[in-house]
Structure 1
């Protein structure tokens, strides 16, 4: 018994030493199908990661089994929580098996990014990422630590899949990873980048909201005029490099849209927001900026109690049974689905576009896939198509001239979406889905992921 006790103490001591030295802290479950831990990406700044190895893995030398890095939005929304339990991981928020888990097509790596998000944390409030580039550097450091020390991971092509604001991180990370690979400091193969309802060009999205809602009879001419006026102000601020002011004007625009539409849901424009009364009460108190941040981040408005919401099941889960399973979460870290601190630190970058990074990836021959939910408003298809047309990529005109192919799922011949592809650019229009495509249309989303990653068939 004393021997066993000493071994346990030795393990704990080892983890503490690794943690203090800034190396990877790693734990596994018994069969090795799950690994998780921390990487100290900067002194006193720690990113939490969780890797699932697929039980559906197929060994095929000509088609290596892929791995997906899932990047959540926000910024400051938890991929380990929402992306994992809420969208594509093996278990749902009730710890029931998910029929359409993306593990059927790939291994899954979730990261709470940027630092201060979810289980990730900083030991000094000055260490939150203040730019997209800083968050990207942290993610690159994490990839170096994980992949360079694991030969099995190096065999799998990495697909960076992002949702919402995560798309800005994804394109920057892909370029950073390619540079590190070229310099020999990162050992991995980049399979591609997937941008799901992503905030790549804020200007194009804010200009899409008014016309789209007017066509849907959700706002009238007066509402359209007000929305377009604020959008024009945002454009002028962006052109002048006034990015913080543009973020505050974005908050004004969202509040105007809410008032003119009687609380349309920014994640499904066919519905009303589920937090109407709380949002209106907060607006009356003058919490405009915070309300808009929450409205942008569904994770915040529906999963925390900041505006009095009682729907905090996901936070209870990750602060309870999941925390006990993981064993390595520091006592002073309380899990939250969305970090306001992480969001506010990135306010200066929030409205900056990342179209040029997409252009650069395409020019380098990287496979770029864009998918868009039909009834999403915050990152509306109308806005996504607008920024795509701004690409300077030489293949753009050929892409635009291609006809779309209808998508189905299984034996169901109801149209589920459309697909278009030219060279290394692909676009999926997913019908009946809002901002969270894997949740709203899980079957077609899984088929899409299989096609993107070219997962070998069983």
Structure 2
């Protein structure tokens, strides 16, 4: 008992001298949590980012114990529901929101690490609004690197497993920035184990990708032929950016769902065009047609899901805070950088590292349409580009069903995914499994 009191007073003394930061660090990096969402082994924790806030991660070791399996690090980003909710509970984590155990969870084959990034999204907390707050994919990559460093220090059993970082939507830009950051300065000490990245319907060059939105929607007969708003949208966006108004350009971009639906004859969910919204009557309309929760580019959890994360998940994990409460502030912080091209990051990875890059795109996503994605993919500058462009495009069958097609070389792969919108894991889990096997080799 005397030794325990001495240790306690030592900790208190350190806290007094450091203003509490060390104690927060020690508590956040406790190797195990006593609570969990469901009975499966898991570890949820906060990693303090000095002078900024706390990054939240949620880790599940694979249930496959016969031999080591890769670690999948999953990211979303600024304009999507955080991975702790959307990817984990909503898609391929071990439990759904009703605590039913999934029989097709990825945890059966992979170690899974979900990180709510940037700070201020999901359970991650943005505390200091000063100059160190994340405002770009590059500054966010610094925070992710520190998070991974703390994670691997707590999970030394993973020190030799292959690591793959996969980002969906804007998370694809975060994944590319993180991969470059780790190669340049491996704060997390995982560069030797990082084998590749996956980019799912990624926001890599949104300005270039949007130049094909009009063509895409016209070919599907969602809007009429002839000049429409969607033809001029990329031009107006460029004019805003050339006038050094990137924030205004982002605001314009964020309203694209409402604006396109005002322009056309059909209400469209631009994240998945087969999922039509319901037109409201003229008497009750506010001037914006359709289900606005589906039509906005910025996807946030609704009040019911926020309450679920605050009341059930937070209590199960033993964490506090108001879920996703900092989202609008994060969006404001990223407005000036969101529309910047991340193509140089992808080219840096392909040209100057040995990492693989796997891009997959659901063909029902109008914002990041496949024709638009191919505008930048087919123009990448690296030594293997000619081989990639000359490679054969092969069909992908799973259980005799055509799930899409792929063009691939050893370093770069591009998957066309049939009957899927922005979230391929949700819309086409069978195709996603095949893509995962291609990325991670399992």
TM-score band by shorter chain is 0.7 to 0.9
Q: Mind listing any 5+ residue stretches in structure 2 that lack a counterpart? A: none
- C-alpha change, 1:72 and 1:226, in structure 2 (3 Å) is same
Q: Distance in 2 between matches of 1:21 and 1:277?
A: 54
Q: Which residue of 2 aligns with 1:199?
A: 203
SS at match of 2:340: coil
Which one of 46, 52, 62 corresponds to residue 38 of structure 1? Answer: 46
Is the 8 Å Cα contact of residues 183 and 191 (structure 2) preserved in structure 1? no
- C-alpha change, 1:267 and 1:294, in structure 2 (3 Å) is closer
CA shift, 1:143, in A, is 1.1
Q: Distance in 1 between matches of 2:222 and 2:271?
A: 14
**Which of 429-438 and 121-130 deviates more?**
121-130
1:384 and 2:373 matched: yes
Output aligned runs, 1:331-342, within 5 Å.
333-336=321-324, 339-342=327-330
Q: Distance in 1 between matches of 2:259 and 2:424?
A: 26
CA shift, 1:263, in A, is 2.4
- C-alpha change, 1:269 and 1:203, in structure 2 (3 Å) is same
| TM-score, scaled to structure 2 | 0.86
- C-alpha change, 1:113 and 1:76, in structure 2 (3 Å) is farther
Deviations 1:279-314 (A, max 9, x none): x956669xxxxx79971133x2xx314xxxxxx2x3
1:157 and 2:158 matched: no
Which one of 256, 260, 264 corresponds to residue 259 of structure 2? Answer: 256
- C-alpha change, 1:146 and 1:341, in structure 2 (3 Å) is same
Q: Distance in 2 between matches of 1:172 and 1:393?
A: 17
1:65 and 2:65 matched: no
Please provide the CA RMSD for this pair: 3.3
CA shift, 1:274, in A, is 5.9
Q: Distance in 2 between matches of 1:252 and 1:348?
A: 16
- C-alpha change, 1:391 and 1:82, in structure 2 (3 Å) is same
Q: Which residue of 2 aligns with 1:395?
A: 384
Q: Which residue of 2 aligns with 1:318?
A: 309
1:297 and 2:310 matched: no
- C-alpha change, 1:320 and 1:248, in structure 2 (3 Å) is closer
CA shift, 1:404, in A, is 1.9
Q: Distance in 2 between matches of 1:107 and 1:276?
A: 45
Q: Which residue of 2 aligns with 1:309?
A: none
Deviations 1:162-192 (A, max 9, x none): 00011111100001111223x7855751121
Which one of 14, 18, 24 corresponds to residue 20 of structure 1? Answer: 24
CA shift, 1:413, in A, is 0.8
CA shift, 1:344, in A, is 1.7
Q: Distance in 2 between matches of 1:275 and 1:173?
A: 41
| TM-score, scaled to structure 1 | 0.83
CA shift, 1:86, in A, is 1.0
Q: Distance in 2 between matches of 1:276 and 1:203?
A: 31
Q: Which residue of 2 aligns with 1:244?
A: 247
CA shift, 1:29, in A, is 5.0
Q: Which residue of 2 aligns with 1:48?
A: 56
Deviations 1:168-220 (A, max 9, x none): 11100001111223x78557511210000011011122212111111111111
Is the 8 Å Cα contact of residues 77 and 118 (structure 2) preserved in structure 1? no
CA shift, 1:440, in A, is 0.8
Is the 8 Å Cα contact of residues 18 and 24 (structure 1) preserved in structure 2? no
Q: Which residue of 1 aligns with 2:125?
A: 121
Q: Which residue of 2 aligns with 1:356?
A: 344
Q: Distance in 2 between matches of 1:58 and 1:405?
A: 33
CA shift, 1:33, in A, is 2.5
Which one of 323, 344, 366 corresponds to residue 355 of structure 2? Answer: 366
CA shift, 1:355, in A, is 0.5
